[in-house]
Amino acid sequence: MNRIKLFRDQIRSTNIDDSIILDVIPRNEFFDVTTINLKIVKDTELLLEYNTKRPVKLNIKIEVDKDVNFTLKEYRYGTNFKVQYLYYLKENSNSKVYKFYDVSGIKEMSIIYLQEKNANIDYFFKTIATGCEKYSMRIYHNAPNTNSNINNGGVNVLNGNLSFSISSFVNEGNKECDVYQNSRIINLTENKCQIYPNLFIDEYNVNANHAANIGTFDESDIFYLMSRGISRENAVNMLINGYMIKDMPEYFINRIKRNLIKYRG
């Protein structure tokens, strides 16, 4: 698997093959932001690990070539992030994005351009929110037969304040697109959390839907586990673990469990 490690806004180490073309534009006196350009030219997987405890600004641009299958796995931890992602997905490309964050302060904007027909993205994101976290996404279906499957979720604990804003766009003439959003926040605090799901669809021949939920768990699910001799606290922890590891690849599962123990015991 290809791998890039970042510390603050600098690449600490890389291990990539010819399936990825990497270009880095460092911040300078005129532009206080580092830009990382990734062009994916062959079927591949990339692991991106990112750590900082100082304020940083970062732009990450990912372009996936025609007919390419690409999987991104990203683990991010620390605080004081300001990040913008730009995804450009070409004809018949298939991208899968898996992200797990354990951060205590972030503002992130992700813009996804499904530029050519039959471009597809499946996006799965999970976070443990202990501070202010704001995530904005815009998904543009700029061609017919494009598909987006966007799934955002998190557990809000301690001083967490978690917000998702997701907007999907389909212009008239871009037929037979599939547009899906699913967002959920498990709020274990009295702090305010928000989800803003938006669908801007100007074409009739499109499948589009969204789901959004903020809260804890159904009491019937907790009661069922308690009826099996499990304490209420452990029942809630089991449900949180099950939700957080759902749809996530093996690489993240132990990390998610360890980090939840750190905050939930």
Predicted pLDDT of residue 66: 98
What are the tokens at 30? 């005129």
CB atoms within 10 A of CB 157: 20
Question: Given this model, what pLDDT does residue 235 score?
Answer: 86
pLDDT above 70 covers a percentage of the chain that reads 97
Does residue 215 contact residue 236 with C-beta atoms inside 8 Å?
Answer: no
The tens digit of pLDDT for each residue in 90-139 reads 999 999 999 999 988 899 999 999 999 999 999 999 999 999 999 999 99
Say yes or no to pLDDT of 164 above 70: yes
d(CA 15, CA 235): 41
- pLDDT level of residue 42 (50, 70, 90 thresholds): very high
Q: What does pTM read for this prediction?
A: 0.94
Please state, in angstroms and rounded to a whole number, the distance separating the CA atoms of residues 92 and 79. 36
At CA 104, angle to CA 233 and CA 6, rounded to 5? 125
Each domain of the chain, given as residue ranges in start order, spans 2-215, 217-265
